[in-house]
Amino acid sequence: KSKVNLIILESIKYMSSGQNIRVEGAEVPITFSIIPRSIFNIFMSQIYLNNNNIEKQIKTSIRMICRLQSKVVGFLPEMVDQYFPFLLNAIANSNYVESFRIPELPNTDVYSCLSKYLKSNKYEYSSIIHLQISKQGMKSFNTFCESLSKEKSVKNRISGLTFTNSELNQDQLKTLSEAIINSKWNNGYEINSIKFENAISDDVNFVDSFFPNLASIASANSPLKLFSLNRMKIGDVNQLISLLKGVRVLSLSYMGIDISSIFEAISNTGMEELMFLNVSGNFLNETVSNVKKLPSSLQRLDVNEVDFLVKNPKSEKGNMLIDFFISVLNKKWNSLFYL
């Protein structure tokens, strides 16, 4: 019976439609109802083939998450640590998962596993386009970066990366930046989306590290079209935004920045391709009269949880929140609103 299980579980990845399979010759006939390319079944086949054991409670939890058939999949560290290579292989064989969220796994060389995945040609039908990576051991980080560019399989569809709660240093940011630029030339899917969420060491200057030659995304011929920083220290806003020309989606959220300085920097840079801007979680502490016009290409502006420091309505400068929206309307940024 165990051999029959292995044969059927291994065959799942090659099936294109659900089927019921009846196994004859056993004392009690067995019928398998199979969902094609099921993450959980592929995962369990790897467990059996490698003679691994898995606790019943963990097995049940993984099954429950896998059967949600969500486009975004993530697991708790205690659920996946020693099983990460098997889960990665299973998820990579799915045809519906688009984003894989990888928690901190101190006992697993995550970047080594990801490097092998990125180089492999056997995942041509994988639907994964985005990886969210929490803090990991950095032993194989350079190998991972090489796998994003010159060694990346042309069949691999990964085009977006998010680094969360990490401690990337200056050299690692430089290596990552170079890998992203070089991903444009490997004849496959380039890395066009990058997000950092509380992802660098305290002593690192992000701008100098990620833009080592102070070359803008446009002048460096970088493929990046989405650029996002969340809860990061960047220093000079003007310098950062001057390097982002060519970006279509920009998010600078929860950065402790006056949003008027963001608007002014964008105006001065001439980001003519910018379509979406997120400045949520920041503040407005000055009058908006000096805010220049945002690009006419802009279609959406998110200002969730922005601290509009409302002044006394009777004061000469008036109400900051009202002033802001009057300024928006006076500038005729009509594409931002659907009234």
User: pLDDT by residue (tens digit) across 238-270?
Assistant: 999 999 989 999 999 999 998 888 988 998 888
Q: Report the C-alpha gap between 288 and 328 in whole angstroms.
A: 9
Q: Is the pLDDT of residue 160 over 60?
A: yes
Mean pLDDT, residues 8-14: 52
Q: Report the C-alpha gap between 181 and 188 in whole angstroms.
A: 13
Residue 144 has a pLDDT of 96
Q: Is the pLDDT of residue 2 over 80?
A: no
Residue 294 has a pLDDT of 80
Could you tell me which residues are beta bridge partners of residue 20?
33
Which token pair is 135? Answer: 């803090």
Which token pair is 222? Answer: 């970088």
Mean pLDDT, residues 264-282: 91
The amino acid that residue 6 corresponds to is L
Distances from the Cα of 234 to the Cα of 252, 255, 256, angstroms:
10, 8, 10
Mean pLDDT, residues 20-26: 54
Residue 326 has a pLDDT of 61
Residue 300: phi and psi, rounded to 5, are: -145, 135
Q: Report the C-alpha gap between 216 and 268 in whole angstroms.
A: 14
Confidence of residue 81 (pLDDT cuts 50, 70, 90): confident
Residue 288 has a pLDDT of 53
Q: Is the pLDDT of residue 162 over 80?
A: yes
